[in-house]
């Protein structure tokens, strides 16, 4: 007999929870994105130096494996999106977190596997770390992040931008604090122990939490979006023209926004993955490289909160243009990183661009 996903009232009925259960889903959604950190670039980057030493790979080879793993994982995300439509976000978040935990545990013992095979530093090391990177990117940065983001959308309509901004504050702070926290975890447990701790926390621990508290939509729980009382008429949000998948692919706006988000993400990923070596080459220290994420988070969090609240009643085009201008500023700051002005230009560009990127990626209703 096939297993069935748990019903909306298991293990308790959200309609009996006060205040509105959408705020509980907000917490789960935020924690889900934070649990994806080991699959995000700022999480992977902290383990770059220890993995290079343990696997016998140079920086270029490890970067190539990360690139191939990232691109390879993206090829499966459309299928994961279709699966989301069939089974819902609650099931997919649980499955993705368990998958992420399993891949992190595999990465923690990868050097021992290679030692048994006599493949340290060879082509076998490249192939296996590529597969590990593909897994952490697919389950973490891909499925867990997207499913956790989408989990919140049905629960809010009129206040979606504002609620998204609240989530953005905690996500930005969590992402910015991740590198120094993970570095401290490595100092405490060494890189292998740190990965195993992350495998446990982001895997079965968060999967259990999501299973208990995540819900796919308010209506099956006997609730309405935004916590409206049942039967009470509310003014609907502005109508939005719907698109089928094929129609969206043919629309130039889809490609404009998608390629814009991809270009900004490509730059941010490259800087974050190589942040230590970039700062050292510019005459700065590894401590400055990890510390750089904190001021970026302050700018990004403030930008995301303001822009998300504003997006409830404004078109996206001005935000997209501002994101590109911030992107150009970050590039100029990176080129002149050896100067104090260049450092703060990079911070401002990355902070503004990152805050706007998060809002454009997951806006309120338009």
What pLDDT is stored for residue 238 in this prediction?
46
Separation in Å, CA 57 to CA 62, 118, 123, 280: 6, 14, 10, 20
Are 100 and 147 within 8 A, CB to CB? no
> Residue 239 has what pLDDT?
44
CA dihedral 266, 268, 273, 278 (to 10 degrees): 120
Q: What is the average pLDDT across 59-69? A: 91
Query: What is the per-residue pLDDT for 227?
Result: 82
| Distance between CA atoms of residues 73 and 138, nearest Å | 5
For residue range 262-276, what is the model confidence (pLDDT) as tens digits? 887 778 878 887 888
Mean pLDDT of 227-249: 60
Q: What is residue 123's predicted lDDT score, i.e. its pLDDT? A: 86
Cα 260 from chain centroid (whole Å): 17
CA–CA separation, 182 and 285 (whole Å): 17
Instruction: Please report the pLDDT score of residue 310 as a whole number.
Output: 75
User: Which pLDDT does position 207 carry in this prediction?
Assistant: 97
- pLDDT of residue 338 exceeding 50: yes
243: confidence class by pLDDT, cuts 50, 70, 90? low
What percent of the chain stands above pLDDT 70? 92
- Tokens for 129, please give them: 């770390």
HEC string for the chain: CCCCCCCCCCCCCHHHCCCCCHHHHHHHHHHHHHHCHHHCHHHHHCCHHHHHHHHCCCHHHHHHHHHHHHHHHHCCHHHHHHHHHHHCHHHHHHHHHHHHHHHHHHHHCHHHHHHHHCCCCCHHHHHHHHHHHHHHHHHHHHHHHHHHHHHHHHHCCCCHHHHHHHHHHHHHHHHHHHHHHHHHHHHHHHHHHHHHHHHHHHHHHHHHHHHHHCCCCCHHHCCCHHHCCCCCCCCCCCCCCCCCHHHHHHCHHHHHHHHHHHHHHHHHHHHHHCHHHHHHHCCCCHHHHHHCHHHHHHHHHHHHHHHHHHHHHCCCHHHHHHHHHHHHHHHHHHHCCCCHHHHHHHHHHHHHHHHHHHHHHCCCCC
Mean of pLDDT over the chain: 86
pLDDT score, position 366: 41
162-181 per-position pLDDT tens digit: 788 788 788 878 887 888 89
Give the pLDDT confidence score for residue 241 in this predicted structure: 52
List all residues 6 or more positions away from 311 whose beta carbon is below 8 Å from its beta carbon: 161, 319, 359, 363, 364, 366
Question: Is the confidence at residue 230, as pLDDT, over 70?
Answer: no
- How far from 313 is each of 18, 116, 188, 224, 237, CA to CA, in Å? 29, 59, 47, 21, 10
Question: In Å, how far from its chain's centre is CA 138?
Answer: 11
Band of residue 232 on the pLDDT scale cut at 50, 70, 90: low
Q: What is the pLDDT of residues 87-105, one digit of tens each?
A: 999 999 999 999 999 999 9
Q: Report CA dihedral (9, 11, 17, 22) to the nearest 10 degrees.
A: -70
Residue 60 CA to residue 331 CA, distance in Å, equals 22
Ranked by mean pLDDT, the top range of 83-92, 174-183, 307-316, 354-363 is 83-92
Give 356 or 231, the one with higher predicted confidence: 356
Task: Give the chain's end-to-end CA distance (angstroms, integer).
Answer: 44
Reading the block at residue 336, the tokens are: 């002149």
Tokens encoding 266: 């490509």
Please tell me which residue, 233 or 204, carries the higher pLDDT value. 204
Structure tokens at 145: 């992040």
Q: Residue 29: which pLDDT band, with cuts at 50, 70 and 90?
A: very high
* Inter-CA distances, 360 with 25, 131, 151, 261, 298, Å: 21, 31, 17, 8, 18
| Six-digit token string for 191 | 């890189």
CA–CA distance from 358 to each of 103, 116, 242 (Å)?
Answer: 26, 43, 22
- Tell me the pTM: 0.81
Q: How confident is the model at residue 3 (pLDDT cuts 50, 70, 90)?
A: low
pLDDT one-digit tens code per residue, 132-166: 999 999 999 999 999 999 999 999 988 877 788 78
- Per-residue pLDDT, averaged over 126-133, amounts to 94
Lowest-confidence region among 119-123, 183-187, 244-248 = 244-248
pLDDT interval class at 244 (50, 70, 90): low
Q: How far is CA 232 from the centre of its chain?
A: 36
Q: Which of 201-205, 306-310, 334-338 bottoms out in mean pLDDT, i.e. has the lowest?
A: 306-310
| Whole-number pLDDT of residue 173 | 81
> What pLDDT does 11 receive?
94
């Amino acid at each position: 007999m096939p297993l069935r996903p748990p019903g909306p009232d298991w293990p308790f009925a959200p309609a009996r929870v006060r205040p509105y259960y959408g705020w509980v889903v907000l917490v789960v959604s935020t924690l889900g994105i934070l649990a994806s950190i080991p699959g995000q670039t700022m999480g992977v980057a902290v383990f770059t130096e220890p993995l290079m030493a343990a696997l016998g790979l140079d920086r270029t080879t490890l970067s190539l494996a990360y690139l191939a793993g990232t691109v390879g994982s993206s090829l499966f995300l459309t299928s994961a999106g279709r699966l989301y439509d069939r089974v819902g976000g609650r099931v997919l978040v649980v499955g993705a977190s368990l998958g992420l935990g399993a891949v992190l545990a595999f990465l923690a013992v990868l050097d021992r596997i290679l030692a048994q095979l006599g493949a340290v530093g060879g082509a076998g090391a490249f192939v296996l770390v590529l597969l590990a990177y593909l897994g952490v990117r697919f389950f973490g940065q891909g499925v867990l992040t997207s499913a956790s983001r989408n989990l919140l959308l049905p629960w809010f309509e009129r206040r979606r931008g504002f609620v998204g901004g609240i989530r953005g504050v905690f996500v930005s702070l969590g992402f910015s604090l991740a590198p120094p926290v993970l570095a401290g975890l490595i100092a405490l447990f060494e890189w292998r122990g740190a990965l195993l701790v992350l495998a446990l926390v982001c895997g079965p621990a968060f999967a259990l939490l999501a299973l208990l508290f995540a819900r796919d939509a308010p209506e099956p729980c006997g609730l309405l979006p935004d916590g409206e009382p049942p039967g009470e008429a509310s003014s609907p949000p502005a109508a939005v023209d719907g698109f089928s998948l094929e129609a969206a692919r043919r629309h130039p706006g889809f490609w404009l926004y998608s390629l814009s988000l991809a270009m900004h993400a490509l730059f941010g990923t490259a800087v974050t993955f190589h942040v230590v070596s970039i700062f050292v080459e510019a005459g700065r220290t590894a401590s400055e490289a990890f510390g750089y994420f904190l001021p970026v988070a302050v700018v990004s969090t403030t930008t995301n909160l303001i822009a998300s609240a504003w997006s409830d009643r404004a078109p996206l085009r001005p935000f997209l243009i501002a994101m590109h201008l911030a992107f150009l500023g970050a590039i100029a700051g990176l080129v002149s990183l050896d100067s104090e002005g260049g450092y703060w230009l990079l911070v401002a560009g990355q902070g503004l661009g990152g805050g706007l990127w998060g809002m454009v990626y997951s806006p309120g209703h338009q």
